[in-house]
Structure 1
Amino acid sequence: MNFGQQMLFFFSAIGAFNGLLLGVYLLFFKKKKSLPDFFLGLILLTLSIRVGITVCIYFYPDWPRIIPNLGLSALFFTGPALYYYIRSSFLKEQFDVKSAVKSFGVLILILCGVGILHFIFPNVWNRYFATFIYGIWTIFIFLSIYDYYILSEKYAKSNQFILPVLVSNAIIFLSYQLLSTGWIQVYCAGGSLVFSFVLYANFLVLFNKKYQAKVAKEETKYSNKKISDLQADNFVSKLEKLMNAEELYKNPNLKLIDLALKMNMSAHQLSQLLNDNLGKSFSTYINEYRINEACEKIENGSYLKIEEIGYEVGFNSKSTFFSTFRKIKNTTPLLYKQSQTVSEPRFQSSNL
């Protein structure tokens, strides 16, 4: 194989290999195993076997003819596994295990019966075997979509992974169907690349959902755990010392998470501290420091222009500085400066 073929082989095979490992794990090694896990593992295992054999046959065409037929035999169970994965995910305890076992038993008998034909009518078997397998897969894909539509309306709360698994199987099914019919002229391993792409896309979706669920759980955990008064006083004291010592408020891009990292606490805890114990939002807390600093500069007769003082204390625009100043001090920076220049002579004359 040249370098291009080696890269195609690598990207086609890596999805099959990882899918095979995940399927074996779900089927045999997962500790807390459920029926949906079993059927999902069966889906991954059968697809991975089919994809892996497809890749090998494409790059090593001299393999015996029986090898690709073994891949098709594995694919024979993909559709039924998807169908029962959806049903078991929705029905849970109501799922009829005995019915599923009987169905798989019948399917195994059918496959064995069809396999015997290979020894009696090899030419006919080779010609129609793939059509038979894809026909069964087609039937169960449509049954799965229909069951998902019916059961999703009846059972609102269900496994959040059902739809991604169904959509992924439908995509892989369509890619193999289009390739097998010749409507799309792509090399045989194209379906394998689709499988690899879909597998890793699902990893990203599922891990993202798990991460979001974990974040939501953490937020709920902290929201139910109120900071004690003594601990809050220590946090507030530490926060004030940090703000005065490092003048963090002068950073116009300061965010809640940045300040939380400085405090060695989570952003949710810091937000809870500001809201519950100080009665202020993060932006209000920071802007008060900025406005107080601006007032000190105005009172001390700073040579800077009004808008320059705003930039100096941490505001990133003149309009934001003016509106925040008015909100906190109930006056404008210019009027505040005029009030300081008017009151200063009176103070001096009263001391004469």
Structure 2
Amino acid sequence: MADSNQLLFFLSALGAFNGFILSVYFAINAKKKIFSNYFLSLLMLVLSIRIVKSVFFYFNPNLSNIFIQIGLSACILIGPFLFLYLKPSKEKNQNWVKHVIPYLAAITLIGSFYPYVKHLAIWKIWIVKAIYFQWFVYIVLSFQFINPIIQKIREKEPLKKIDVWSLSIYIGVAIIWLAYTVASYTSYIIGALSFTFVLYLVALLLIFRNNNESNFFQEKEKYKNKEIDAAMLALIDQKLALIVEKELYLNPNFSLDDAAKELKISKHILSQYVNEVLGKSFSNLIKEYRIEKAKKLLENESKITLESLGYDSGFNSKSTFFTAFKKTTGLTPAEYQKSYSK
């Protein structure tokens, strides 16, 4: 094997090896067992199986067909495990079976009745394409859990560590899917790409582990077993109204920290209340207040210009305001004003 091929093989195989190590780590060695970590572990496992198959097949075209079949079959669970890991913790435990068992059963039956060794054409033309399409569908479905993070980036809001981690997982899996999809036009070997992806995860892991702040593994369930008592619920509900009464949300830079200081409530408790009781993020809550303000301005100020409406409602840009207004009301500001005046 030439020196360049030896290096490529080493990098590719090392990426897959790191994937297996991370899979074991997430499943066994996390400080606190959290159910979502098992989905992350399984995601790393099936990715690694697929990558190992690619590496060895690239350097040994005479690889056993059963090994090739196992590697290809593993792809059918990449999308579901990505979806289940990114899905909010309070929902994912309820219906994970329907995202895993049917596909696992289907690929097992297909592999039994149409083994790769005897039906190469069927696998290449139909089965593999169907698997990659299913993988893509789950990438699209998983975007709903990443979209709030993208909105934070667009609105220049600070990202939590778990946001950075989740976004990295999502982008990494999407890149690997794209690499496999275009492999016939470029090169079949994607081990180096996978190696880069896995090392990126390792780097993030080491960074977060060495951070003395809250552990990113646990951040998704930071409110677990910490219910707010009834008296505090009533107090927060009462105090939260002050944000509307004082129109604090008109400050484009109004943050959770600002709200907690103004209302004299713990930032952690306020965040938990907004997330669990109101079922939304703090930024979305403030956005709703601003939209309601904009609607009142449209209803009561006939001479207000649509250009200044967003800024008068607390938004820091016209485009952000128009997007938020249309998403919330289903109408543009001009359409809303016209419908109200009828």
TM-score, normalised relative to structure 2: 0.54
Aligned to 1:75: 75
Distance 1:123 1:173 in 2: 21
Aligned to 1:85: 85
| Distance verdict in 2 for CA 1:105–1:152, change over 3 Å | farther
Aligned to 1:17: 17
Contact kept? 1:117, 1:125, Cα under 8 Å = no
| Distance verdict in 2 for CA 1:35–1:159, change over 3 Å | farther
Residues 202-229 of structure 1: CA distance to partner in whole angstroms, max 9, x if unpaired?
3223433444x42799xxxxxxxxxxxx
Q: How does 1:28-107 map to 2 (within 5 A)?
A: 28-30=28-30, 32-87=32-87, 91-92=88-89, 94-107=90-103
Aligned to 2:133: 135
Aligned to 1:125: 122
Match 2:112 to one of 116, 140, 144: 116
**Structure label with greater radius of gyration:** 1
| Distance verdict in 2 for CA 1:65–1:149, change over 3 Å | same
Letter in structure 2 aligned against 1:6: Q
Contact kept? 2:15, 2:198, Cα under 8 Å = yes
Aligned to 1:349: none
Give, in angstroms, the shift of residue 26 of structure 1: 1.9
Identity in percent:
28
| Distance verdict in 2 for CA 1:216–1:6, change over 3 Å | same
Aligned to 1:192: 191
Residues 222-248 of structure 1: CA distance to partner in whole angstroms, max 9, x if unpaired?
xxxxxxxxxxxxxxxxxxxxxxxxxxx
Contact kept? 2:18, 2:199, Cα under 8 Å = no
Please state whether the residue corresponding to 1:214 is helix, strand or coil: coil
Distance 1:86 1:193 in 2: 25
Q: Indicate whether 1:165 and 2:169 are aligned.
A: yes
Residues 231-268 of structure 1: CA distance to partner in whole angstroms, max 9, x if unpaired?
xxxxxxxxxxxxxxxxxxxxxxxxxxxxxxxxxxxxxx
| Distance verdict in 2 for CA 1:178–1:123, change over 3 Å | closer
Give, in angstroms, the shift of residue 125 of structure 1: 2.9
Residues 83-119 of structure 1: CA distance to partner in whole angstroms, max 9, x if unpaired?
00000xxx22x22424102321111122123223315
| Distance verdict in 2 for CA 1:99–1:8, change over 3 Å | same
Letter in structure 2 aligned against 1:145: F
Contact kept? 2:16, 2:51, Cα under 8 Å = yes
Unpaired runs of 5+ residues, structure 2, are: 153-158, 216-342
Which structure has more RCO (C-alpha within 8 Å, separation ≥ 6)?
A: 2
| Distance verdict in 2 for CA 1:140–1:2, change over 3 Å | same
Distance 2:120 2:19 in 1: 33
Letter in structure 1 aligned against 2:99: S
Aligned to 1:175: 179
| Distance verdict in 2 for CA 1:119–1:69, change over 3 Å | closer
Give, in angstroms, the shift of residue 153 of structure 1: 7.1
Give, in angstroms, the shift of residue 134 of structure 1: 0.6
Contact kept? 2:84, 2:92, Cα under 8 Å = no
Give, in angstroms, the shift of residue 140 of structure 1: 0.6
Distance 1:215 1:97 in 2: 27
Q: How does 1:313-328 map to 2 (within 5 A)?
A: none
Distance 1:148 1:116 in 2: 37
Give, in angstroms, the shift of residue 15 of structure 1: 0.7
Residues 297-335 of structure 1: CA distance to partner in whole angstroms, max 9, x if unpaired?
xxxxxxxxxxxxxxxxxxxxxxxxxxxxxxxxxxxxxxx
Aligned to 2:256: none
Distance 2:58 2:33 in 1: 36
| Aligned residues: CA RMSD | 2.8
Aligned to 1:205: 204
Structure having the higher helix fraction is 1
Q: How does 1:236-247 map to 2 (within 5 A)?
A: none
Contact kept? 1:46, 1:78, Cα under 8 Å = yes
Give, in angstroms, the shift of residue 151 of structure 1: 8.5
| Distance verdict in 2 for CA 1:52–1:39, change over 3 Å | same
| Distance verdict in 2 for CA 1:80–1:3, change over 3 Å | same
Contact kept? 2:149, 2:167, Cα under 8 Å = no
Distance 2:107 2:43 in 1: 17
Contact kept? 1:35, 1:85, Cα under 8 Å = no
Contact kept? 1:79, 1:137, Cα under 8 Å = yes
| Distance verdict in 2 for CA 1:58–1:196, change over 3 Å | same
Letter in structure 1 aligned against 2:14: I
Aligned to 1:283: none
